[in-house]
Amino acid sequence: MKITNIKAVYPKYKAIPSSWRTHLWQIVVKIETDIGIVGYGYGGGGKASVEVINHHFSEILVNQNVDTVDDISKIWDQIYFESIPYGRKGIAIMAMSGIDLALWDLLGKAEKVPVYQLIGKRNKDKVRSYATGTDPNWYAEMGFTAHKFPHRWYSDQDYDSAILQSKIAREIFGPEALIMIDTYMTWNTEVTKSMSRHLKDFGIYWFEDVLTPDDLNEQSMLKESAKPTLISGGEHEFTHHGFKDILNTNALDLWQPDITWCGGITAMMKILDLANSANIPVVPHRGGEIWGLHLIVSSSCDDLAEVLPGTRDAIKDNLWIGEPNAENGFISPNNKPGFGVELNEELC
Ligand SMILES: [Mg+2]
């Protein structure tokens, strides 16, 4: 099939996250073909990314053929090359992720198979999911047995808040649960070392993003003192080229690429090859969204998918109709062709 039209849209979100996400949150990519099949993808980079796609990538894509996974790979290489002057990391790759996912959706629909079947042999029936957020009681009620809470470092008193939150989480979810902490790049080397001591009785599975993605050597030096807690990260890294630096510096115990930011499935497969070469576990960022879920069930990713239920009574935007929810702490993609979801046109 031949690509006839590409359009990126920034949805009319009602429940938008704050800060940089206000105008730069997730975009929808729609790719049309000459046989009437339409592919949808989800990318990052917001309004800036929409411009990149509609005013550059669309020119590269029109009239290209998409009949095999190899075709998608060639298109990926071409877009990557053409965007090198302003790309390689950040918004250009976030935009490209949306394109890549839309192409996989197209191919799945054309072959009438779910995307996970195009990726490889399905090796997980349902995936254990972990709830990220600030409403642990509700998550436990819903049946989650794994939970990650945010913690930010502002002052010395924040040791106490981290201890308190860890204690509460451990009490709510019990001794067997996985408990993780996302520090969103606000801890530093000294804080992380002290936290390892303060929190050692709570059996924290990982500390996420303790430093920035530019501090790879520093993170590699923290791994020993954090043990058995893992030092994780990677949601702000891009493509296999970026992850090669993480591998070469031995910076992280566990990788968390975001499939809608790091270059889509095509980049993820190469990132997984790198991870496998050093036996590094991969737990995709927001892996419980439909895009990551298809990859997780058919690849060497860990049996763990992040979901963000928010809080009990919060308003939510249901952008993708048919996207599965976690049930009793497990989540699974449906077996419809492509990613198996439809766009809620009211939001676009
Ligand atoms: Mg994070």
In CATH terms, the superfamily for domain 3-112 is: Enolase-like, N-terminal domain (3.30.390.10)
Q: Residue 56 Cα, ligand 1 centroid: separation in angstroms?
A: 30
Q: Residue 14 Cα, ligand 1 centroid: separation in angstroms?
A: 22
Q: Residue 310 Cα, ligand 1 centroid: separation in angstroms?
A: 14
Residue 198 annotated in active site: no
Report helix, strand and coil shares of the chain as percent, to nearest 5. Answer: 40, 15, 40
Q: What residue spans of the chain are helical by DSSP H?
A: 21-24, 46-52, 58-61, 69-82, 91-111, 115-119, 136-141, 158-173, 189-198, 216-226, 239-249, 264-277, 290-297
Provide the CA 28 distance to its chain's centre, in angstroms.
15
Classify residue 116 by burial, with Cβ atoms within 10 Å: 0-12, 13-18, 19+: buried
Please tell me the predicted confidence (pLDDT) of residue 46. Answer: 97
As a whole number, the mean pLDDT across the chain is 97
Q: Residue 60 Cα, ligand 1 centroid: separation in angstroms?
A: 33
Query: What does the domain layout of the chain look like in residue ranges?
Result: 3-112, 119-347
Inter-helix orientation angle 216-226/189-198, to 10°: 20
Please tell me the predicted confidence (pLDDT) of residue 167. Answer: 98
Please tell me the predicted confidence (pLDDT) of residue 207. Answer: 98
- 157 pLDDT band, cuts 50/70/90, is confident
CATH code: domain 119-347 is 3.20.20.120
pTM surpassing 0.95?
A: yes
Does pLDDT of 17 surpass 80?
no
Rounded Cα–Cα distance for residues 216 and 291 (Å)? 27
Same fold yes or no, 3-112 and 119-347: no
Residue-wise pLDDT tens digits, 245-257: 999 999 999 999 9
Q: Which residues of 289-320 are buried (b: 16+ CB within 10 A; e: fewer)?
A: bbbbbbbbbbbebbebbbbebbeeeeeebebb
147, 236, 240, 285: the active-site residue: 285
Evaluate whether 233 touches 242 at the Cβ level (below 8 Å). Answer: no
Number of Cβ within a 10 Å radius of residue 328: 11
H/E stretch holding 179 reads strand 178-182
Which tokens is 27 given?
A: 């975009």
Residue-wise pLDDT tens digits, 263-304: 999 999 999 999 999 999 999 999 999 999 999 999 999 999
Please tell me the predicted confidence (pLDDT) of residue 99. Answer: 98
